[in-house]
Structure 1
Amino acid sequence: MERKKFAVIGLGRFGLKLIEELNKMGLEVIAIDKDSSKIEEVREIASESIILNAIDKEALKKSGVKDVDVVIVTIGQEMENSILITNLLKEIGVKEIIARAENPVHAKILRRVGADKIILPEEDMAVRLAHTIHFPGVHEYVDMKGPRDLAEFKIPLQSKIIGKKIGQIYKEFQDKVNILTIEKEKGKVFNHELAKEREERESIVSRDDYIIEANDILILFAKPENLEKFIGKFS
């Protein structure tokens, strides 16, 4: 049987350890990172080492990742970049994409943009709790470690946003808040694997002509101050 070929994007501690283990198994692995010092660390154990900014689509194409069997995106904390890179890998036709997520919302977005499997470390519950109690009406808040954050916002029954089209909202906020997707709760289902009930949701693509309804859950992406203005206005 022909052995699989791998590529690892992101050479933090997790990425380095992964390459070490794949090398021990005698597997071919391409190491990719924009930091030349990190590339130097893996030259002896990786089949190929490439200094590359993986958010550059053309450079990513030339790297040869399309020809490997599995690409693992281990950039966890740089969440914006991991989402963008995962999406680019999907666009260029990578066979299988595994991506590291920092939390459930990050994992959800990675799946939507093309990840086939998710690696999810333990959540930082204190940070999540602090942000969800700071923003009224928010089910989930994710610090993206960058200029913009993610939030899940459930539309209250008397909200002023009900009946408005997403396109109107974008004009009103001058495109400072991005609605990535809309979700609707479909009721609770029993998860036998976790031995507990979970909320089942239907995802709807965000379109300018979509009319917002009560209890819609908006997945928002914006700077913290703009998230606060948006949620404060429509709570």
Structure 2
Amino acid sequence: MKKDFVVIGLGRFGGSICQELTKLGMNVLAMDKNEDLVDDFSNIVTHAVVGDSTDETVLKSLGIRNFDHVIVAIGNDIQASILTTLMLKELGVKKVTTKALNDYHEKVLRKIGADQVVHPERDMGKRLAHNLVSSNVLDYLELSDEHSIVEISANEVISGHAIGQLDIRARYGINIVAIKRHSNIIISPQADEVIQEGDVLIVIGSDTDINRFEVKMLQS
């Protein structure tokens, strides 16, 4: 089902979102104060407009409340980010996702009604750090400040062993919720499931327990 998106701020983050949403077949309106950036995206997105998102008149003229989702990807101007988010919610936009620059910024965004707040630089930093610590960590998704889901490539230490034999839940406090094996996905694998070389384990748990598992099991 096609949805209508607005992306405000066409820096690297906002620009990347525009490109991916367009590839997925969505209708995308891209907006920025910088005319050169808008020109760059005019042939990529459905519509590209030059405008100041902190001007309520501009937002109303776009019929902003009729869009399914607005992404505020403004770079380093925290004041503009906050004001834009506030006005979008006051104008009745159903869903607003805003990029936060720091934890304080996130707290303010949540208080004024942002539906989702993202930290692209922080999250990418966490993913990279985990990948640097262990090449077996393929992806890292933060669920909260203390819990995450991680994709881990099975190495020689754990492959060839049944899940119950490794006793990962009791020893490390994490759960294997699925196993990717070639083109198949095994959901909620049983204790007698033998981990094979090349399997990708999808595990969930606290960051502390996951880190302990990475160090003890994946680097042994």
TM-score, normalized by the shorter chain, greater than 0.5: yes
How far did residue 122 of structure 1 move?
Answer: 4.1
User: Which TM-score applies when normalising by structure 2?
Assistant: 0.55
Question: Which digits, 9 at most, give the CA deviation of each residue in 1:158-208, with x for residues without a partner?
Answer: xxxxxxxxxxxxxxxxxxxxxxxxxxxxxxxxx7626389xxxxxxxxxxx
Q: Superposition pairs for residues 103-182 of structure 1, below 5 Å? A: 103-123=102-122
Runs of 4+ in 1 over 4 A off after TM superposition: none
Q: 2:80 aligns to what?
A: 81
State percent identity of aligned pairs: 39
- For residues 57 and 43 of structure 1, the distance between their equivalents in structure 2, rounded to whole angstroms, comes to 23
User: Is 1:193–2:137 an aligned residue pair?
Assistant: no
Contact (CA 8 Å) 1:74, 1:100: kept in 2 or not? yes
User: Which TM-score applies when normalising by structure 1?
Assistant: 0.52
Contact (CA 8 Å) 1:50, 1:63: kept in 2 or not? no
Structure 1 vs Structure 2 CA RMSD: 2.0
Q: 2:89 aligns to what?
A: 90
Q: 1:102 aligns to what?
A: 101
User: Amino acid of the residue matched to residue 24 of structure 2?
Assistant: M
Question: Which digits, 9 at most, give the CA deviation of each residue in 1:101-154, with x for residues without a partner?
Answer: 01111011011112100111345xxxxxxxxxxxxxxxxxxxxxxxxxxxxxxx
Contact (CA 8 Å) 2:2, 2:25: kept in 1 or not? no
- For residues 75 and 34 of structure 2, the distance between their equivalents in structure 1, rounded to whole angstroms, comes to 16
Contact (CA 8 Å) 2:11, 2:75: kept in 1 or not? no
Contact (CA 8 Å) 2:100, 2:106: kept in 1 or not? yes
Contact (CA 8 Å) 2:99, 2:117: kept in 1 or not? yes
Aligned residues: 130
Query: Counterpart of 1:115 in 2: which secondary structure?
Result: coil
Query: Counterpart of 2:15 in 1: which secondary structure?
Result: helix
User: Amino acid of the residue matched to residue 193 of structure 1?
Assistant: H
Structure of larger gyration radius: 2
User: Amino acid of the residue matched to residue 84 of structure 1?
Assistant: L
Contact (CA 8 Å) 2:31, 2:38: kept in 1 or not? yes
User: Amino acid of the residue matched to residue 95 of structure 2?
Assistant: E
How far did residue 22 of structure 1 move?
Answer: 0.8
User: Quick check: which one's helix share is greater?
Assistant: 2
Q: Superposition pairs for residues 7-22 of structure 1, below 5 Å? A: 7-22=6-21
Q: 2:211 aligns to what?
A: none
- For residues 30 and 192 of structure 1, the distance between their equivalents in structure 2, rounded to whole angstroms, comes to 35
How far did residue 13 of structure 1 move?
Answer: 1.0
Contact (CA 8 Å) 2:28, 2:45: kept in 1 or not? yes
Query: Counterpart of 2:88 in 1: which secondary structure?
Result: helix
How far did residue 59 of structure 1 move?
Answer: 1.1
Contact (CA 8 Å) 1:103, 1:121: kept in 2 or not? no
User: Amino acid of the residue matched to residue 115 of structure 2?
Assistant: D
Q: 1:126 aligns to what?
A: none
Aligned CA distance change for structure 1 residues 122 and 15 (closer, same or farther; 3 Å): closer
User: Amino acid of the residue matched to residue 16 of structure 2?
Assistant: K
How far did residue 77 of structure 1 move?
Answer: 1.3
- For residues 6 and 94 of structure 1, the distance between their equivalents in structure 2, rounded to whole angstroms, comes to 11
Unaligned runs of 5+ in 1: 124-190, 198-235
Query: Counterpart of 1:41 in 2: which secondary structure?
Result: helix
